[in-house]
Chain A
Amino acid sequence: NAGVTQTPKFQVLKTGQSMTLQCAQDMNHEYMSWYRQDPGMGLRLIHYSVGAGITDQGEVPNGYNVSRSTTEDFPLRLLSAAPSQTSVYFCASSSQGMDTGELFFGEGSRLTVL
Chain B
Amino acid sequence: GESVGLHLPTLSVQEGDNSIINCAYSNSASDYFIWYKQESGKGPQFIIDIRSNMDKRQGQRVTVLLNKTVKHLSLQIAATQPGDSAVYFCAENIGANDMRFGAGTRLTVKP
Show the binding face of A for B, using Cβ within 8 Å: 4, 31, 33, 35, 40-45, 48, 50, 56, 58-59, 90, 92, 97-108
Contacts and interface: CB of A to CB of B under 8 A. Distances in A.
Given A43-B44, A43-B91, 20 more contacts: A31-B97, A41-B103, A42-B91, A42-B100, A42-B101, A42-B103, A45-B98, A45-B99, A48-B97, A58-B98, A90-B43, A92-B43, A98-B99, A99-B93, A100-B32, A102-B46, A102-B49, A105-B45, A108-B41, A108-B43
Q: Dominant SS at the B interface?
A: strand
Interface residues of B, number: 25
A104 B9 CA distance: 24
Contacts of B70: none
Contacts, number: 63
B77 to A, nearest CB: 19
A56 B34 CA distance: 23
Contacts of B100: 42
16 contacts: A40-B9, A40-B103, A42-B102, A42-B104, A44-B101, A48-B97, A90-B44, A98-B98, A98-B99, A99-B32, A99-B96, A99-B99, A100-B32, A102-B49, A105-B45, A108-B41
